[in-house]
Amino acid sequence: MRERNRLDRSISTYRVLENELNDSVGLIEMAEAEGDKAMVADAEASLASLRARADVMKLESMLSGEADANDAFLEVHAGAGGTESQDWASMLLRMYTRWAEKHGYKVEWLEESEGEEAGIKSATIQVKGENAYGWLKTETGVHRLVRISPFDSNARRHTSFASVGAFPVIDDKIEIDIPEKDVRIDVYRASGAGGQHVNKTESAVRITHLPTSIAVQCQSDRSQHKNRAQAWSMLRARLYEAEIRKREEAAQAQNDAKSDIGWGHQIRSYVLQPYQLVKDLRTGIQSHSPGDVLDGDLDAFMAASLAQKVGGEGAGPVEDLD
């Protein structure tokens, strides 16, 4: 039913655009025949608006993967570098939270491991809303920051790395068999957000899938039972995403441009000093306003990455966000 409603909305929107296009073209023809330049200008402005709406529909049509319409788990992990990378990881987490809020998505905090001095070592959030995974999957990879360190008394320039991973929240109808012998379950006292009561008992849960070494953890609730259930959901999502990725890599083994998530293979660089530039190394999309990007202005980067992945179209007509 959800899929049917989504398709109904898409078809209805397309028909509205089609009717408005025909009306605008007819209006221009009539205005030109009457020599009414003001009416021609109004109709041309309507056409420009129609084009922008059509571009949005084109992008949404690319979100046709098995789980693109689903909610998403988003994980951020600091790289090597201590406080610098941990602060960078917290900046990325804020960036995605702001992006989600701007699009009307609901964000639920699931797990956070705080840094020793600042920032975070890792964190997991759930982003709830239609096509959340379809958009966020384009952000999976290593992100690089270059800036004058606020933690360096000598004000030297530092380079920091953090990794981002997005995984779909899967429906109950998708069955993923995980034998008990293949997992190890650990419980521990929670840390980080949650208030004074969260760490009085061993309510936090970590589940490790032994064959793949995939580990998930949840400490968002005081109840170990609820945290365990959420951790199982996260593990199923990780295994499901890993299987999807395996299929894609097998089908596109000949594509040298496929992304590598390993350290040293960053997908995007954020330079704050000595100049200001954010550049996506996969698509070439760039912005000279890193402050806006770090405040959640990610749509152009996501759209270009999605277009390249789906149809090899690259960045399209937008080459620079300025």
Residues 29-82 have pLDDT tens digits of: 888 888 888 888 888 888 888 888 887 777 777 787 778 888 999 999 998 778
**Are 307 and 62 within 8 A, CB to CB?**
yes
For residue 260, the model assigns a pLDDT of 42
Assess whether the region 72-169+267-311 and the region 180-251 belong to the same CATH fold. no
For residue 4, the model assigns a pLDDT of 80
Higher pLDDT, 174 or 160: 160
For residue 143, the model assigns a pLDDT of 95
- The percent of residues in the chain predicted with pLDDT above 70, rounded, is 85
For residue 192, the model assigns a pLDDT of 57
For residue 171, the model assigns a pLDDT of 65
Q: Please state the domain extents for the chain.
A: 2-61, 72-169+267-311, 180-251
- The percent of residues in the chain predicted with pLDDT above 90, rounded, is 33
**Are 114 and 120 within 8 A, CB to CB?**
yes
Domain 72-169+267-311, CATH 3.40.50.300 — does that match?
no
Q: What is the DSSP string of 157-226?
A: EEEEEEEEEEEE---TTS-----GGGEEEEEE---SSS-TTTTSS--EEEEEETTTTEEEEE-SSS-HHH
For residue 258, the model assigns a pLDDT of 37
Q: Where are the beta strands (DSSP E) in the chain?
A: 72-78, 106-114, 120-128, 141-148, 157-168, 183-188, 204-209, 214-218, 266-271, 277-280, 286-287
The third-level CATH classification (topology) of the domain covering 180-251 is Double Stranded RNA Binding Domain (3.30.160)
pLDDT single digits (tens) 80-133: 778 899 999 999 999 999 999 999 999 999 989 888 888 999 999 999 998 899
**Are 133 and 166 within 8 A, CB to CB?**
yes
Q: Sign of the CA dihedral 163, 164, 168, 169?
A: positive
- Mean of the per-residue pLDDT values of the chain: 83
Residue 262 pLDDT class (50, 70, 90 cuts): very low
Q: What is the pTM of this model?
A: 0.67
Length of the chain equals 322
Residue 204 pLDDT class (50, 70, 90 cuts): confident
Q: Which of 137-146, 179-188, 281-290 has the lowest mean pLDDT?
A: 179-188
Amino acid at 34: E
Task: Answer whether residue 261 shows pLDDT above 50.
Answer: no
| Strand order through the sheet with 277-280 | 106-114, 120-128, 72-78, 157-168, 141-148, 266-271, 277-280, 286-287
Task: Answer whether residue 229 shows pLDDT above 70.
Answer: yes
For residue 51, the model assigns a pLDDT of 87
d(CA 186, CA 192): 18
Q: Which of 25-39, 134-148, 250-264 has the lowest mean pLDDT?
A: 250-264
Q: Which of 99, 84, 81 is nearest to 139 (CA)?
A: 99
Q: Which of 283, 196, 176 is nearest to 238 (CA)?
A: 176
For residue 319, the model assigns a pLDDT of 43
Task: Answer whether residue 268 shows pLDDT above 90.
Answer: yes
pLDDT single digits (tens) 280-317: 999 999 999 999 999 999 999 998 988 887 665 444 43
